């Protein structure tokens, strides 16, 4: 049965384009998104019945929307997204009509970031041979294979809605590297 959780001062602001993932101990983590013309770079934790803003340190990912995230091995991994704040339609709300000229000014993000959930410290994984920057991809994790998978998404050169990636790429947790699983058809 669905029910509404009461807001508190630490509840996240309304948003869209964010990620919400579950940890092994059933804690929800919310990152990023866009709401009322503001892009977010914060992480909120929902434990039991309470939201809490995490106080993270380190090299965190830039504020973004339409990115992907997964939890694996005690870390929150974040990849991709973009910083589009659409000016048409008054305020950059999700669902505003998109002007392709505005998209040309948006930055698509590559780079893989991890947040150690025990220390709450971010780091950018260097040398991870990151996939091309993209937004709107799908992400999955496999604890059995100690791997993350990313599929599809819009790349920075594909601003047209029907022009998307079709590659499947695997991140090996032990090697901390990405590798293509299947080439573009």
**Which tokens hold the place of 113?**
């970031």
SS3 of 19, please?
A: strand
Give the tens place of pLDDT for each residue, 22-59.
999 999 999 999 998 889 999 999 998 899 999 999 99
pLDDT of residue 7: 84
Give the tens place of pLDDT for each residue, 113-162.
999 999 999 999 987 688 888 899 999 999 999 999 999 998 865 555 55
Give the tens place of pLDDT for each residue, 59-114.
999 999 999 999 999 999 999 999 876 544 334 444 444 444 455 567 889 899 99
Contact 147, 70 (CB under 8 A): no
- CA–CA separation, 133 and 41 (whole Å): 17
- CA–CA separation, 75 and 48 (whole Å): 20
- What pTM did the predictor assign? 0.86
Residue 105 host element (H or E):
helix 100-105
108 secondary structure, DSSP code: B
């Amino acid at each position: 049965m669905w029910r509404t959780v009461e807001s508190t001062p630490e509840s996240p602001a309304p948003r869209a384009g964010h990620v919400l993932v579950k940890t092994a101990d059933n804690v929800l983590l919310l990152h990023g998104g866009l709401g009322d013309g503001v892009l977010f770079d914060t992480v909120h934790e929902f434990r039991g019945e309470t939201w809490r803003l995490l106080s993270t340190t380190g090299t965190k990912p830039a504020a973004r929307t339409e990115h992907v995230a997964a939890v694996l091995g005690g870390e929150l991994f974040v990849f991709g997204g973009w910083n589009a704040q659409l000016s048409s339609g008054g305020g950059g709300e999700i669902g505003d009509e998109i002007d392709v000229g505005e998209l040309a000014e948006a930055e698509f993000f590559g780079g893989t970031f991890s947040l150690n959930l025990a220390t709450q410290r971010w780091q950018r994984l260097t040398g991870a041979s990151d996939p091309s920057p993209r937004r709107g991809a799908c992400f999955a994790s496999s604890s059995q294979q100690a791997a993350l998978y990313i599929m599809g998404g819009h790349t920075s050169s594909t601003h047209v809605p029907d022009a998307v990636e079709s590659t499947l790429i695997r991140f090996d947790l032990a090697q901390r590297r990405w590798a293509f699983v299947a080439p573009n058809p």
